Amino acid sequence: MRSQKNIFALTCVMIFVMVAFMPEIASSQTVRVFVPAGSFHSVLPEVPGEPIQVDSFYLDKTAVTNEEFVSFLEENPEWRRSEIPSIFTNAGYLKQWKSDLDPGYENLGKDRPVTRVSWYAANAFCAARGGRLPTLNEWEYSAQLIDFENEKEANAFSAKLINWYSGIDANNLGAVGSSEIENEYGVEDQFGLIMEWVDDFKPLIAEDLSLDCGTVGRMNTLGSVYSYAASIRYITRMSFNAKITTGMVGFRCAYNTPAPTPESQQGESL
pLDDT band of residue 47 (cuts 50, 70, 90) is: low
Question: Per-residue pLDDT for 116 more than 70?
Answer: yes
Q: Note whether 229 and 165 are within 8 A (CB).
A: yes
pLDDT tens column, 119-153: 999 999 999 999 999 999 999 999 989 888 888 88
Amino acid present at 23: P
pLDDT band of residue 253 (cuts 50, 70, 90) is: very high
pLDDT tens column, 55-81: 999 999 999 999 999 999 999 999 999
Q: Note whether 260 and 36 are within 8 A (CB).
A: no
Question: Per-residue pLDDT for 270 more than 50?
Answer: no
pLDDT band of residue 258 (cuts 50, 70, 90) is: low
The confidence score (pLDDT) of residue 23 equals: 33
First to last CA, the chain: 61
90-119 in b/e burial notation, b at 16+ Cβ within 10 A?
Answer: eebbbebbeebeebeeeebeebbbbbbbbb
Strand order in the sheet with 254-256: 32-35, 57-60, 254-256
CATH of region 31-269, choose from 3.90.1580, 3.20.20, 1.10.15, 2.60.40: 3.90.1580
Mean pLDDT of 88-117: 97
Classify residue 192 as left (phi > 0), alpha (psi -120 to 50) or beta. left
pLDDT band of residue 5 (cuts 50, 70, 90) is: very low
Output the average pLDDT for the chain. 80
The confidence score (pLDDT) of residue 103 equals: 97
Mean pLDDT of 151-176: 84
The confidence score (pLDDT) of residue 265 equals: 38
The confidence score (pLDDT) of residue 7 equals: 42
Question: Per-residue pLDDT for 266 more than 50?
Answer: no
Question: Per-residue pLDDT for 37 more than 70?
Answer: yes
The confidence score (pLDDT) of residue 232 equals: 77
* Domain extent listing, the chain: 1-29, 31-269
pLDDT band of residue 231 (cuts 50, 70, 90) is: confident
